[in-house]
Homo-oligomer: A and B are copies of this chain.
């Protein structure tokens, strides 16, 4: 039986729509049955509570499920069209790092859809780790989470200053630049950091000297540009095909 959420409960969940409060509480929201299933499958311990208008759909008894009313779901959801289920999860920071030979570094990625798509790509191509500059969009932003399609639970994401990180790294740094070596003719190594820059401005000036291998996707037609997430996908494919 569902019972109404208290005003206090609703407020506490709504606060998680904002990065400031997510960081304070180390909690974030995921929405929709598919992604909650992914969390249950890959990382059940991260789930604090699942709120659902039809909890009978969940069969995993390890997870705490609270039945709620549709009108309360609307209040706590970050979506225009809530999807019936919402879960509160703990930050994923303590996940062990597996040995990822290729890492992705993101320099000031701003668009949540791009960030989520890149996380989804990383999961597909077996890249276990993403390192993001401090001013990259928050990976717990609800729009990022939705765009990952659940892949947020399979990829370790850490935020740091990229300059010292890349300076200390002993791996080759592959930077996606407009003027670089044709990726189809490059000798790409399986170990390295793939550095992708901001949607409008590309890789920051201060990081360009740290790129040991400038690479570029050649243009065959008249197109003006490729979106950064698309470019990441094509580059990951090229690194993986070897």
Report A's interface with B, CB cutoff 8 A.
38, 42, 117, 120-128, 149-151, 154, 184, 217-227, 229-230, 233-234, 237-238, 240-241
B126–A241 CB distance below 8 A: no
Specify which chain B residues have a CB less than 8 angstroms from the CB of A227 in the assembled complex. Answer: 117, 120
> In the bound complex, what is the Cα–Cα distance between A83 and B221 (angstroms)?
27
Interchain CB contact (< 8 A) of A221 among B127, B219, B226, B229: B127
A241's closest neighbor in chain B, by CB? Answer: B184
> In the bound complex, what is the Cα–Cα distance between A221 and B124 (angstroms)?
5
In order of increasing CB-CB distance, the 9 nearest A-B pairs are: A124-B223, A126-B221, A123-B223, A126-B220, A184-B241, A234-B237, A154-B222, A230-B233, A125-B220
A220's closest neighbor in chain B, by CB? Answer: B126
This chain's copy number in the assembly: 2
A231's closest neighbor in chain B, by CB? Answer: B233
> In the bound complex, what is the Cα–Cα distance between A124 and B223 (angstroms)?
4
Specify which chain B residues have a CB less than 8 angstroms from the CB of A154 in the assembled complex. Answer: 221-223
